[in-house]
Chains A and B, each alone.
Chain A
């Protein structure tokens, strides 16, 4: 049965020049067939993209256990960038392994622009859990409005 939820991950990456940059994404994951979800939302990754719409995929793998993220967005200079990474669920470190996402930011050619870690804030847990309720829940409506506003601004 298809499901959907809204998730926010925030953190920092260090670019190739050693500068630490704040990065976050706020996405809806929908689908779930064969452990695969489509992602759609908004990403902040200055200086590459202050705020832009994003899409991508999330895949659950049973063994070895992993949740792979691949978030794609267009940078301000027109390049297609990918923010990809994986959570490695572990029974020995359940909290950290499910809330920390090691990521790399790469360009179209696969060159890594930055690496770092994003975290799921447990203060977002109520919103995250409520986003699993049958749509349209508040987190979904808010994300839809946000993504539409960002897309409108980009068109303008």
Chain B
């Protein structure tokens, strides 16, 4: 994890070699947030888990490392959610990020790579949750690393302040999770691993990802608004769809006149058009278990992430040069809304 000054950051942005997808971007300077997250869904039942290790380096206080864990049980309509925090000095993010990155943060140990593992325990008032997981990247082309940004400069340069990458869009998990209510065995659950970093959290966004194993397809996208020079941008959206060996990118970003995003309280609908055709995705977590996570920003402001991993998803793509296709998932959608205000419906984790 090399320290990064302004000149090296500029050189990296303009033409230097891009760091490996999972390389830790934190250089020890204040004003940084970074997270590695995983999620996995049962293939047929409404059960899902979400794991995250984060670095928060505030402008005015020492950096901390955090570990997050949520288990979503759509059959019982419950969630188990917990966050553990420790000083950053006690955590470790070691390795180049390729082929692996080892993370130790607040009781959570991750080995991030094409074959990874997670171990940890989370103590909450309702009991203790423990997990012991391994995973491997799926062999399909849909599992190749994915960036929603169309240009490398958007990942390496100063704009936007918040970066997103998906080093492993399609993983297959096994292992076990022990919850206060019993044990859950993960037997070939599908999921993914993502990596975010930046000077702050995006001002506002909806992010969604869904795997459609039966169709050998996946989709990931976002609709977000940025704050630039104190002003809030129009909503900008992007979507990447993979089906077999084909990738359909709807990522021109700034052609907002070809983007129709409808962001509801618990649902997101997005229609995009571009050179690859048209795509429409609907993700709806209404009535499904959801958790509100309090994300600190380096400047002390709070963002609130409303997180469900059991959203219903319908995806339709009309390629310019092929027949259209539709993929559906009853409860396999990862759906997150980042907002500036909490919601009284949910306690903040």
Chain A residues proximal to chain B, CB less than 8 Å: 44, 50-51, 121, 123, 141-143, 145-146, 149-150, 152-153
Which 6 A/B pairs are nearest by Cβ-Cβ distance?
A149-B323, A142-B321, A145-B321, A142-B320, A150-B323, A149-B322
B225 interface residue, CB < 8 Å from A? no
Q: Within the complex, what minimum Cβ distance (angstroms) separates A51 from chain B?
A: 5
Chain B residues 213 to 261 lying within 8 A of chain A, measured CB to CB, are: 255, 257-258
Known contacts A150-B323, A153-B323; is A123 also within 8 Å of B318 by CB?
A: no
Report yes or no: B273 in contact with A146, Cβ–Cβ below 8 A.
no
B95 sits at the interface (CB 8 A): no
Least Cβ–Cβ distance between B30 and chain A, in angstroms: 43
In the complex, are the beta carbons of B322 and A146 less than 8 A apart? yes
22 residue pairs A–B, Cβ–Cβ below 8 Å: A44-B318, A44-B324, A50-B324, A51-B318, A121-B258, A121-B273, A123-B255, A123-B257, A142-B321, A143-B320, A143-B321, A145-B321, A145-B322, A146-B319, A146-B320, A146-B321, A146-B322, A149-B321, A149-B323, A150-B323, A152-B323, A153-B323
Contact B257 A146 (CB under 8 A): no
Task: Please name all residues of chain A whose beta carbon is closer than 8 Å to the beta carbon of B323 when the two chains form the complex.
Answer: 51, 146, 149-150, 152-153
Pick from B257, B321, B324: contact of A141, CB under 8 Å: B321
Chain B positions 305-349 with a Cβ under 8 Å from a chain A Cβ: 318-324
Asked whether A51 and B324 contact (CB < 8 A) given A44-B318, A123-B273, A146-B319, the answer is yes
Contacts of B324 in A (CB 8 A): 44, 50-51
CB distance from B283 to the nearest CB of A (A): 20
Contacts of B319 in A (CB 8 A): 146
Contact residues in B for A145 (Cβ distance below 8 Å) = 321-322
A150: chain B residues within 8 A (beta carbon): 323
Q: How far is the CB of B217 from chain A (nearest CB, A)?
A: 16
Bound complex: CA of A149 vs CA of B277, how far in Å? 14
B258 proximity list for chain A (CB < 8 A): 121, 123
CB distance from A10 to the nearest CB of B (A): 9
Find chain A residues with CB under 8 A from B255 CB: 123
B positions within 8 Å CB-CB of A: 255, 257-258, 273, 318-324
CA distance A51 to B323 in the complex (A): 8
Q: Give the residues in chain B near A121, CB-CB below 8 Å.
A: 258, 273
CB-CB under 8 A from A149, the residues of chain B are 321-323
10 more A-B residue pairs beyond the given contacts A141-B321, A153-B323, with a C-beta to C-beta distance below 8 A: A44-B324, A51-B323, A51-B324, A121-B258, A121-B273, A142-B320, A143-B320, A146-B319, A146-B321, A150-B323
Instruction: State in angstroms the CA–CA spacing of A146 and B321 once bound together.
Output: 4
Within the complex, the shortest CB–CB distance from B156 to chain A, in Å, comes to 29
On chain B, the residues within 8 Å of A153 by CB distance are: 323
CA A69 to CA B321, docked complex, whole Å: 23
Task: Give Cα distance in the complex from A145 to B323, angstroms.
Answer: 8
In the bound complex, residues from chain A placing their C-beta under 8 Å from that of B321 are: 141-143, 145-146, 149
How far in angstroms is the closest Cβ of chain B from A79? 21
Nearest chain-B residue to A150 (Cβ)? B323
Q: Which B-chain residue is minimally distant from A149 (CB atoms)? A: B323
CB distance from A75 to the nearest CB of B (A): 17
Distance to closest chain B CB from A73 (angstroms): 15
CA distance A143 to B318 in the complex (A): 12
B270 to chain A, nearest CB (A): 15
A121 to B273, CA, bound (A): 11
Chain A residue nearest to B255 (CB atoms) is A123
- A48 CB → nearest B CB, Å: 15
A146 contacts across to B, CB distance below 8 A: 319-323
Query: In the assembly, what is the distance between CA of A122 and CA of B338, in Å?
Result: 33
A146 to B276, CA, bound (A): 12
Contact partners of B257 in chain A: CB under 8 A: 123
> What's the Cα separation between A91 and B280 when bound, in Å?
37
Q: What residues on B are CB-neighbors of A141 within 8 Å? A: 321
Docked CA distance A143–B321 (Å): 6
Complex Cα spacing A142 to B255, Å: 22
Q: How far is the CA of A146 from the CA of B278 in the complex (A)?
A: 13
Chain A residues with Cβ below 8 Å from B322 are: 145-146, 149
What chain B residues lie within 8 Å of A152 (beta carbons)?
323
In the assembled complex, the CB of B278 is this many whole angstroms from the nearest CB of chain A, namely 9
Kindly list chain B residues whose C-beta atoms are within 8 Å of the C-beta of A142.
320-321
Q: Report the nearest A residue to B275, measured CB to CB.
A: A127
Closest residue of A by beta carbon distance from B319? A146
CA distance A130 to B166 in the complex (A): 36
Nearest CB of chain A from residue B311's CB, rounded to whole Å: 23
Smallest distance from the beta carbon of B308 to chain A beta carbons, Å?
A: 28
Complex CA gap A44/B316 in Å reads: 13
Q: Please give me the residue from chain B that is nearest to A51 by CB atom.
A: B324
